Amino acid sequence: MWRVTILVLAAIYFLGPLAASLRFSLVQSNGKDGFGNYSRVLHDGALANALWTSLEIAAITTGILLVLMLPTVVWVRLRLPRLALLIETVSVLPIVIPPIVMGAGLAELQLHAGSAIDSALFASPISALTPFYVILALPFAYRSLDVGVRAIDLRTLVDAARSLGASWFTLITRVILPNVRTAVLTAASLAIALVLAEVVIAGTLLYDTYPVELVNQGQQDAGIAVALSVLSLAITWLLLFGISFLGNRAGPTRVGRLL
Amino acid sequence: MSGVAVHLDGLTRRFGALTALDDLDLDVAPGELLALLGPSGCGKTTALRLLGGFDRPDAGRVMVGGADVTDMPANRRDMGMVFQAYSLFPNMDARKNVQFGLRMRKMGAAQRNARAEEVLALVGLADHAGHYPYQLSGGQQQRVALARALAIEPSVLLLDEPLSALDARVRHQLRAEIRAVQQRLGITTLFVTHDQAEALSIADRVGVMHDGHLEQLGTPEEVYDRPATPFVAEFVGTMNRVAGRVLPGGRLEVLGSSLNAIGGDGQQQGSMVEVLVRPEALEAVADEDGHATVTERTFLGSLTRIRVTLDDGADLLIDAATRRGLPEPGARVGVRVTSEDALVSGPSTP
């Protein structure tokens, strides 16, 4: 009985606002019910461009993170286990420093940078934001990958692969990566979620990324704002569902299933 | 597949203040199976890891087939290894595990398949080629790991306590299989274990290690019957410590018997020494006037282990073939030595 009660209360708590948002988003500017708000959102070229830019940044950020962090985590666990705690602590720093500090610093750099730096770094939102999103996502990626690597018998797998002639690149890509695939997907999903939600730095530097566009549009029309929220939620759910689906197909390993 | 000679020359490895391996010299003949035996921390696995290229020595050289491979990374040493922990790649089935090393050597798919089938058949797992590690028992996983190590036709096979995670029955069976395969292929093999029965039963020669040193290297019979040091005597098999008296002509008086003394040079005639005697070299005979009392009797199958307490308080273990009429606990017995030799451990301690 208690379980049912708690379940019902939780459902009301979580689904109630969602249902209300959905209902509100279906009220058009003329007062009638319909998909007018969604139609306007989907046909808004600026929003589509911003979404595309953010997805590009998310993909590049995720790629750089994984290429940097997976070998790092493996190396730390294999060769520098005593430094693991120190590196974990250092990796938390991006969380401790507020994004507005980084954004203000970047704005200052943008203001006083020479033309060379300006054209190399600030010419596009991808080159300007990606390096900093990599730093912001680093704590989440490090922890996810570390959990995955700790769940396998790393040293034995490494020694076995090396004794069979594998190079470090082959070892990482063919032995380690498939066995920590769920952790990699988790790190990727966190990085993507961060990029699709980060508004402070992008907004400060005046780049039109998806979250910045969401905020801008939301300030102009309440109906569109709520429709955007519902769409964002749906995109996030789809993303997590996709990652969960890929994780469940992460090969017939017990490790993969446990994670 | 043919074996090559392995020579470890003055290998030393330190971890901080700890010297795990101290100036180890070791020769393994082509096609030989040499077991390194010793307790945890004696340096045997360190020696194996140095040979395999998984670690670098602080001093010394590793020679394989006459070539110095000390600075060669593990992936270029051409050595197969079976580990103590289950080391199969969880994301690959048995066939792909076996093919992994062949793929690294750029072998074609058809050849890889044929070779994988061949070595899986060699270890009796041809029917399990499509099974993933979690679908295999511990013994089967180690067989696949052996097949994977053999598939690349390595110049040297390294076995790092590959049987220690298995139950006794599988361990005995796989031990015999490893030996049979090794002899059939004639591959030079270094086998590391802390199990003396395993080392004695499988190896051509056994090296007993202690504190980073090689205490004795010899055939299993030599190591067991003529241990070079008290440590070897006590680590390999069970050993009793009894008091003996030095007699003229290199002989000892132990429990009323006169024996050839091994070691103990420099002991004065008539002095008391501590002597090491194996349980199977003692015999307990029921005797009301004997100088010992049976305190325990343990059935071990073909053998029965009898614990007796001498009247001077010393405890002895005696192994006797299981039969009717062995003395019961509480019975008075006489104890005598049936062997002709005894190893002197050192001066007798009060």
Report the pLDDT value the prediction gives residue B217, as an integer from 0 to 100: 95
CA distance A108 to A116: 16
Model pLDDT for residues A43-85, shown as the tens digit of each residue: 878 888 888 899 899 999 999 999 999 999 999 999 888 888 8
Which residue of B90, B91, B101 is in closest CB contact with A165? B101
Model pLDDT for residues A187-214, shown as the tens digit of each residue: 998 898 899 889 888 988 888 898 898 8
CB B282 within 8 A of CB B291: no
- Local confidence band at A255 (pLDDT 50, 70, 90 cut-offs): very low
Report the pLDDT value the prediction gives residue A107, as an integer from 0 to 100: 84
Report the pLDDT value the prediction gives residue B77, as an integer from 0 to 100: 92
Report the pLDDT value the prediction gives residue A248, as an integer from 0 to 100: 66
Query: Which chain A residue lies closest to B99 (C-alpha atoms)?
Result: A164
Residues of B in contact with A159 (CB under 8 A): 52, 54, 74, 81, 83, 87
Cβ–Cβ contact A74 with B under 8 A: no
**Greater model confidence, A88 or B220:** B220
Report the pLDDT value the prediction gives residue B91, as an integer from 0 to 100: 92
The alpha carbon of residue A165 is apart from the nearest alpha carbon of chain B, in Å, by 4
Residues of B in contact with A178 (CB under 8 A): 89, 91
Average per-residue pLDDT for chain A? 86
> Hey, are the CB atoms on A170 and B104 less than 8 Å from each other?
yes
CA distance B304 to B301: 7
Residue A256, pLDDT > 60, answer no
- The 3-state DSSP composition of chain A as helix, strand, coil percent (nearest 5) reads 85, 0, 15
DSSP B331-349: -EEEEEE-SSEEEEEEEPP
Residues of B in contact with A179 (CB under 8 A): 89-91
- Local confidence band at A247 (pLDDT 50, 70, 90 cut-offs): low
Residues of chain B with pLDDT under 50: none
The alpha carbon of residue B175 is apart from the nearest alpha carbon of chain A, in Å, by 21
> Hey, are the CB atoms on B87 and A166 less than 8 Å from each other?
no
> Hey, are the CB atoms on B91 and A179 less than 8 Å from each other?
yes
Least confident of A94-108, A151-165, A176-190, B55-69: A94-108
CA distance A25 to A224: 7
CB B210 within 8 A of CB B228: no
Q: Whole-structure pTM over 0.90, yes or no?
A: no
Residues of A in contact with B75 (CB under 8 A): 162-167
Residues of chain B contacting A, Cβ within 8 Å? 52-54, 73-81, 83, 85-91, 100-101, 104-105, 132-134, 145, 148-149, 152, 158
Residue A134, Cβ density class (10 Å: 0-12 exposed, 13-18 middle, ≥19 buried): buried
SS3 B313: coil
Which residues lie closer than 8 Å to B296 by C-beta, 6 or more apart? B306, B307, B329
CA distance B156 to B188: 5
- Local confidence band at A102 (pLDDT 50, 70, 90 cut-offs): confident
Q: How many CA atoms lie within 13 A of A150 on its CB side?
A: 9
- Phi/psi of residue B53, nearest 5 degrees: 85, 15
Specify which residues B93 forms β-bridges with: none
Residue A113, pLDDT > 80, answer no
Supply the ipTM of this predicted assembly.
0.80
CA distance A87 to A85: 5
- In a mutational test of the B interface, the residue from A152, A164, A181, A184 whose CB has the highest number of chain B CBs within 10 Å is A164
> Hey, are the CB atoms on B75 and A156 less than 8 Å from each other?
no
Average pLDDT over every residue of A215-236: 83
The alpha carbon of residue B87 is apart from the nearest alpha carbon of chain A, in Å, by 6
CB B311 within 8 A of CB B291: yes
A85-120 burial string, b = 16+ CB within 10 Å, else e?
A: eeeeeebeebeeeebeebbeebeeebeeeeeeeeee
Residue type, B269: Q
Cβ–Cβ contact A165 with B under 8 A: yes
Average pLDDT over every residue of A165-185: 92
Cβ–Cβ contact A253 with B under 8 A: yes
